[in-house]
Amino acid sequence: MTTVLTAPPSGSALPDSADGVRHVIVLGAGLGGLTAAIRLRHRGFRVTLLERHAQPGGRCGLWESNGFRFDTGPTLLLMVDYLRAVFAEVGRPIERYLDLRQLDPNYRVHYADGTTLDVTSRLNGMLEGLERIEPGVGPRFLRFLSETARLYRLGLDGFVDRNVHRRSDAFSPKHAALLLRARAMERLQRLVRRYFRTERLQHTFSFQSLYLGLSPFDAPAIYGLLPYTEVAGGLYFPMGGMHAMPRALARLAEELGVDIRYRHDVRALERSAGRISAIMMADGRRLEADLVVVNADLPYAYETLLGEKHPRIDRLDFSCSAFLMYLGVRRAYPALTHHALVVPRDLRAACSDIFGGRIPSDPPYYLCNPSKTDPSLAPPGCENLYVLVPVPNQQAGRELDWSVAGPKLEEAMLERLERFGLTDLRRHIVARRTFTPADFAHQFSATHGEAFGLAHGIDQVGYFRPHNRHASLGNLYFVGQSTHPGCGIPMVLISSRLVVERIAEEQAVRQ
């Protein structure tokens, strides 16, 4: 068992013992747990971080094989200012921890008719590419950017980037009026159809809701803010891979004095007198704390760790899942970009399969080749491929046997990738692994094997998403993708800032 125990840095202004200093246990070293731990420690709490796996990052994990280093989860780093903010808040230059590179293009979209579009944050380049697909679209695209910029500000200021657990905060007449005026609740497809005539561009500027595990054909227009963040804010990559991010955060946490303990599986939260009194470890040990912040998936935390059902669990909707393939290949594919999105002939039909419980016969998929930006992620002459296919979650009544479906889908995807242009792919694979919804359930305690946590329909965001503090256990808080504001790296980083602000406010009141 690896236990990493670190003393607070000498000369630190932070209190470092239990003499009057409140002790917080953070359960889970995902990006939410790591950044909550950093922020709490910076505010003077004594912090212990417990993680069941041997490495930090949770879904932002790493798999190494035969000299290949695969990021296992997130690959697109957007809204990078929220990451910079974590380091800035504790007065550390991010450059000392991470080498972030802006990508150009952001990604390449491959359409079924063989045409492509490079989505880039260089406006001229973007306009040129769009004109090739839809002549005359330039001014309409600029108006689309301006409308989605408004949605971005409205979404972030009004609902995402602040605590909304009080009804009065969530339902201000001012924000309701702004939402109505911005047509934020109309269909996303309606929004894109106002600006783009070709189906190709309508898909290009709406598929991003899939990042949240939400069908672009069911999503509300407010999610038009996602393509805006890509074009306006750009896409970044940490050299060393996405997993460099949780590693850097774990290093920062330890430097500040957070006591990180890997391979520490929590089995239960013990309660008494309306509070969590202790954490029970799987090996039988009992750890006491003044406050507990849970980064594990919230429905699992309620059901398994607390032994109670979330009051709305039976009505909660879960995001779709993902079938992932990590392929180390002994050759290069020069035509590939770092990020590529492959759109099928009928995206609507594919989405209706995914969200209706079936694996589509012609699915959209995303292909990542990070060795294009950082060759050190694969041995010389080799490349590192990551394939993500959105697939149904395992919600009751639609469970698939992934021990059968997985190998079939893997073979179908390898064939598809060869047809797509990855010539002789199968002959060149030297490292391979798949990850299925069954693995999400097993490794991350995802209730229905979903990849992206709770769904992000309008009835499950803001005030309607499970709140970041338990309703009756006053010292139990939640951080991460299943609480407010939701899934995705920037959202999870926001969630940690919001929960720490709430803790500071509520615990100051109590003392």
Ligand X SMILES: Cc1cc2nc3c(=O)[nH]c(=O)nc-3n(C[C@H](O)[C@H](O)[C@H](O)COP(=O)(O)OP(=O)(O)OC[C@H]3O[C@@H](n4cnc5c(N)ncnc54)[C@H](O)[C@@H]3O)c2cc1C
Q: Rule CB under 6 A: which residues touch ligand X?
A: 27-33, 50-53, 58-60, 73-76, 78, 265-266, 295-296, 322, 324, 388, 444-445, 451-452, 480-481, 487-489, 492
Pick between residue 175 and residue 432 the one whose CB is nearest to ligand X: 432
For the chain, the maximum distance between any two Cα atoms, rounded to a whole number of angstroms, is: 69
**Shortest approach of ligand X to residue 280 CB, angstroms?**
10
**Shortest approach of ligand X to residue 50 CB, angstroms?**
5
- Rounded to the nearest 10 degrees, the angle between the axes of helix 31-42 and helix 489-510 is 40
Pick between residue 141 and residue 496 the one whose CB is nearest to ligand X: 496
Give me the DSSP letters along 454-508: B---GGGSGGGSPPSB-SS-TTEEE-STTSSS-SSHHHHHHHHHHHHHHHHHHHH
Count other C-beta atoms under 10 Å from residue 292's C-beta.
27
| Residue linked to tokens 């491959």 | 110
Q: How far apart are CA 64 and CA 72, in angstroms?
A: 10
Pick between residue 50 and residue 476 the one whose CB is nearest to ligand X: 50
Pick between residue 159 and residue 478 the one whose CB is nearest to ligand X: 478
SS3 of 365-409:
EEEECHHHCCHHHCCCCCEEEEEEEEECCCCCCCCCCHHHHHHHH
**Shortest approach of ligand X to residue 148 CB, angstroms?**
18
**Shortest approach of ligand X to residue 117 CB, angstroms?**
19
**Shortest approach of ligand X to residue 440 CB, angstroms?**
7
Pick between residue 27 and residue 130 the one whose CB is nearest to ligand X: 27
Q: How far apart are CA 243 and CA 44, in angstroms?
A: 27
Pick between residue 265 and residue 411 the one whose CB is nearest to ligand X: 265
Report whether the peptide linkage leading into residue 299 is cis, meaning its omega lies within 30 degrees of zero: no
**Shortest approach of ligand X to residue 12 CB, angstroms?**
26
Pick between residue 28 and residue 224 the one whose CB is nearest to ligand X: 28
Q: How far apart are CA 221 and CA 40, in angstroms?
A: 35
- Rounded to the nearest 10 degrees, the angle between the axes of helix 244-256 and helix 31-42 is 20
**Which residue sits closest to ligand X, CB atoms considered?**
30
**Shortest approach of ligand X to residue 149 CB, angstroms?**
20
Pick between residue 29 and residue 351 the one whose CB is nearest to ligand X: 29
Q: How far apart are CA 478 and CA 299, in angstroms?
A: 11
**Shortest approach of ligand X to residue 429 CB, angstroms?**
20
Pick between residue 130 and residue 441 the one whose CB is nearest to ligand X: 441
**Shortest approach of ligand X to residue 285 CB, angstroms?**
13
Sheet strand arrangement including 116-119: 116-119, 107-110, 339-342, 365-368, 383-391, 321-329, 429-435
Residue 463 exposed, middle or buried by CB count within 10 Å (0-12, 13-18, 19+) = middle
What is the DSSP pairing of strand 291-294 with strand 23-27? parallel
Q: How far apart are CA 257 and CA 37, in angstroms?
A: 10
Centroid of chain to Cα 136: 35
